[in-house]
Amino acid sequence: MLDAIHVDLNGPAQKPETVSALLRAAAGTAALYGRENAPASAARMARIVRDPLRPRGTPLHVVLVRPEIPHNTGAVGRLCVGLGCDLALVRPIGFALSDYYVRRAGLDYWPHLRLAIHDSWDDFLGRAKPGRMHFLSTKGGRSLYDTAFEPGDTLVFGSESAGLPESFYERYRDALVRIPMPGEHARSLNLANAVSVAVYEAYRQLLARGAAPGP
């Protein structure tokens, strides 16, 4: 998977390594603050780089498709910083990333997040070029705990109200993974909780094989 764009609002100025990184600076800042609130000079406010020396952390990638609730995305961003995972958001997004609740849930971790934002699923596939993907869904036929994760895997989650896009259930039928919910009245888990459960299970497996950094 290609390196995600790292948005660091607090770090020292760094020269982007590529012209494309420079071109993304304004767009990245607009996405972070909301276009209507974006600072006049993105170059002064954002440092967007591909940094080959940055510690990569856990070799897993997290994708939220059409997220709707800001504090869930904020919590997932904090989780990804904790594990050193990349996070990708696929539009449409139901809030501005400047939203108070995103910031509150992410605390001061959010500026350290390796974040990429994609206009569509096809845009994600074309730009990120993911390897093996797992799609978390209540419709999955295979349990999370019967799934073997490998370095570089991508875990994909749908929206809070609708789950994954309808076409995914046939297109990625063999990659659907279910988190067990034996409770009598359980329908689904909160999105941020589901991401935590699934990503930490993947991390546990990689850690046991020496394929992820220890605590």
Q: Does residue 62 fall inside a structural domain?
A: yes
User: Considering its fold, how many domains does the chain have in total?
Assistant: 1
**Residue 29 pLDDT grade (very low, low, confident, very high; cuts 50, 70, 90):** very low
Chain center to CA of 205 = 19
Question: Which sign does the torsion angle of CA 123, 21, 51, 101 carry?
Answer: negative
Q: Does residue 42 fall inside a structural domain?
A: no
Q: Does residue 118 fall inside a structural domain?
A: yes
Is the distance from CB of 50 to CB of 61 less than 8 angstroms?
A: no
Q: Does residue 40 fall inside a structural domain?
A: no
Separation of first and last alpha carbons in the chain: 24
Structural domain range at position 144:
55-208
Q: What is the pLDDT of residues 144-193, one digit of tens each?
A: 999 999 999 999 999 999 999 999 999 999 999 999 999 988 889 999 99
Helix (H, G, I), strand (E, B) or coil at 143: strand
Q: What CATH number corresponds to the domain at position 126? A: 3.40.1280.10
Q: What is the pLDDT of residues 109-137, one digit of tens each?
A: 778 899 999 999 999 999 999 999 999 99
Q: Does residue 97 fall inside a structural domain?
A: yes
Q: Does residue 44 fall inside a structural domain?
A: no
18 burial class (0-12, 13-18, 19+ CB within 10 angstroms)?
A: exposed
Q: Which range among 25-34, 40-49, 51-60 has the greatest average pLDDT?
A: 51-60
Q: Does residue 163 fall inside a structural domain?
A: yes
